[in-house]
Amino acid sequence: MTGTGPGVGAWLRYGEPIAPAEVDFAVAHYRTAVLQPWERETAARLKDARPGMTVLAYRCLSSVRVFEPPERCASGIGWAEARDRGWIARRGDEPVEWDSYPGHFQTRVWDPAYRAAWTEQVVASLDGTAFDGVMADNDVFEDYYDLRLPAIASADPDAPAEVAGLRAALGELVETAGRALADAGRLLVPNIAEARREPGRWRRHAAWGGGFEECWLGWGDDAMFDATTAAAQLEQLDGPGLALLRAPSGGHGPAWDGSPQGLYGLALFWIVGAGAPRLSYTATGHNDYSRTPWFPAMDADLGQPRGPVHRSGRVWRRRFEGGVAAAVLDGEVGGTVTLPPGAVRPGPRGRPDGEPLPRRLRLRPHEGVIALTP
């Protein structure tokens, strides 16, 4: 289930309703799509036009949303059912609402009955659809939503008092759901938070279809990771399954030329991942999942690598049949990369007909380049 045709893009599109023109654009430019589970018609259109595209349904592992009607439920379990069956976490008499996400309430992921129901309902919801599987959000590593677990555990003897217990419960849910989805011929691709901090975390959680790294190479435009932290993430491109990578920053459609962060992430995507069909990439702003982010270099085809990754000082570089990808991970002064004669930037359609590049190009920290050879 890997994409064919131009582009390495991932379309993370689980925000506002989708316009028909966006679907046509997605067919032309993306190899992976993540949609809301009720976007069945869009999923079918994508698969009809691009059978090799991987199309996943968004689901949340960890929350229910009070504002969602039953027929449009992005959580695995609906609000009313979770309330009635006691699956919403509580502090005293109050349900636990996520900080910064009004209307999102923490579920009792530590309850085996909740995990079984989540799995059963999510698997069943894919019957008769074109979705290849599920992207499961909020496979959290820390207490990002101010749950205050000790206060929950003081009233709920089954609840973990520490975040390590929450991670363990989510790990069990990923394994249970992953196995059931695999038995049904579907994929599970969790949003695996901070996998770099726990040896083996990515490989375990991606075992049922792949993983999504929502904060690849940084937290935001002005908070890119240092070289050590970035390098710790790069092994995620080595499998198993799919790898969906989102670098911080934004993409603004066909007229956009790419931010420094977006090009930096794309360059490392090629340097380390060599453009493998099971990998896909995007660069967006925070929670910016209501558009079609793209820039021309995302459609550039560098071809097969002509050798391994080369590192010289701060510069990471790799030669391909169709050009060079280079990036500077960190440092105060950046580094210089030597490019082939006649190298150019990708043109408006990602082809080698763009602006000429100098033989020696200076890159600042957290900058990259895709250089094509006509």
Query: What Å distances lie between residue 285 and 262, 289, 355, CA to CA?
Result: 10, 8, 27
Count: domains in the chain: 2
State the pLDDT at residue 70.
Answer: 87
Beta bridge partners of 337: 361
Q: Is the sign of the CA dihedral 308, 370, 247, 290 positive or negative? A: negative
Q: Is residue 267 assigned to a domain? A: yes
Q: Which residues contact 94 (CB under 8 A, 6 or more apart)?
A: none
Torsion, Cα of 341, 345, 349, 353 (10° steps) = -40
Picking from 278, 299, 320, the residue at the C-terminal end of a domain is 299
Residues 316 and 240 in one domain: no
Residues 19 and 129 in one domain: yes
Q: Which residue has the tokens 């555990």?
A: 153
What φ, ψ does residue 34 adopt, rounded to 5°?
Answer: -120, 120
Residues 361 and 322 in one domain: yes
Taking the C-alpha atoms of residue 261 and residue 206, their distance in angstroms, rounded to an integer, is: 26
Residues 189 and 59 in one domain: yes
Amino acid, single-letter form, for residue 80: A
Residues 22 and 139 in one domain: yes
Report the alpha-carbon angle 53-54-60, nearest 5. 150
Q: Is residue 3 assigned to a domain? A: no
Answer whether 111's CB lies under 8 Å from 168's CB.
no
Answer whether 282's CB lies under 8 Å from 275's CB.
no
3-state secondary structure of 305: strand
State the pLDDT at residue 253.
Answer: 47
Q: Is residue 1 assigned to a domain? A: no
296 Rama class: left (phi>0) / alpha (psi -120 to 50) / beta: alpha
Number of C-beta neighbours around residue 86 at 10 A: 13
Q: Is residue 366 assigned to a domain? A: yes
Number of C-beta neighbours around residue 71 at 10 A: 7
Picking from 299, 333, 353, the residue at the C-terminal end of a domain is 299
Q: Is residue 14 assigned to a domain? A: yes
Residues 278 and 314 in one domain: no
pLDDT tens, per residue, the chain with 374 residues: 333 346 899 999 999 999 999 999 999 999 999 999 999 999 999 999 999 999 999 999 999 999 999 889 999 999 999 999 999 999 999 999 999 999 999 999 999 999 999 999 999 999 999 999 999 999 999 999 999 999 999 999 999 999 999 999 999 999 999 999 999 999 999 999 999 999 999 999 999 999 999 999 999 878 899 999 999 999 899 989 999 999 998 545 444 556 889 999 999 999 999 989 999 999 998 899 999 999 999 999 999 999 999 998 889 999 999 999 999 998 778 999 999 999 999 999 899 999 999 999 999 999 999 999 98
Q: Is residue 2 assigned to a domain? A: no
Residues 339 and 259 in one domain: no
170-174 — which CB contacts under 8 Å span 24+ positions?
A: 170/61, 170/62, 170/109, 170/139, 170/140, 171/204, 171/205, 172/115, 173/61, 173/109, 173/115, 173/118, 173/119, 174/61, 174/136, 174/139, 174/204, 174/205, 174/208
State the pLDDT at residue 6.
Answer: 66
Residues 210 and 330 in one domain: no
Q: Is residue 243 assigned to a domain? A: yes
Residues 217 and 348 in one domain: no
Residues 293 and 315 in one domain: no
Residues 357 and 219 in one domain: no
State the pLDDT at residue 220.
Answer: 85
State the pLDDT at residue 8.
Answer: 96
In a 10 Å sphere around its CB, with 0-12 CB exposed, 13-18 middle and 19+ buried, how is residue 258 labelled?
buried
DSSP state of 351: S
Residues 112 and 220 in one domain: yes
Picking from 280, 299, 318, the residue at the C-terminal end of a domain is 299
Query: What Å distances lie between residue 187 and 121, 180, 218, 231, 243, CA to CA?
Result: 15, 10, 27, 27, 12
Domain extent for 315: 301-374
Query: What Å distances lie between residue 81 and 89, 118, 242, CA to CA?
Result: 13, 11, 32
Torsion, Cα of 140, 143, 147, 153 (10° steps) = 90
β-pairing, 54-60 vs 133-139, is: parallel
State the pLDDT at residue 314.
Answer: 86
Q: Is residue 4 assigned to a domain? A: no
Chain centre to alpha carbon of residue 13: 11
CATH of the domain at 351: 2.60.40
Outline where the chain has alpha helix (H).
20-29, 40-49, 79-84, 112-125, 149-155, 163-183, 201-205, 227-233, 260-273
Answer whether 233's CB lies under 8 Å from 216's CB.
yes
CATH of the domain at 278: 3.20.20.70
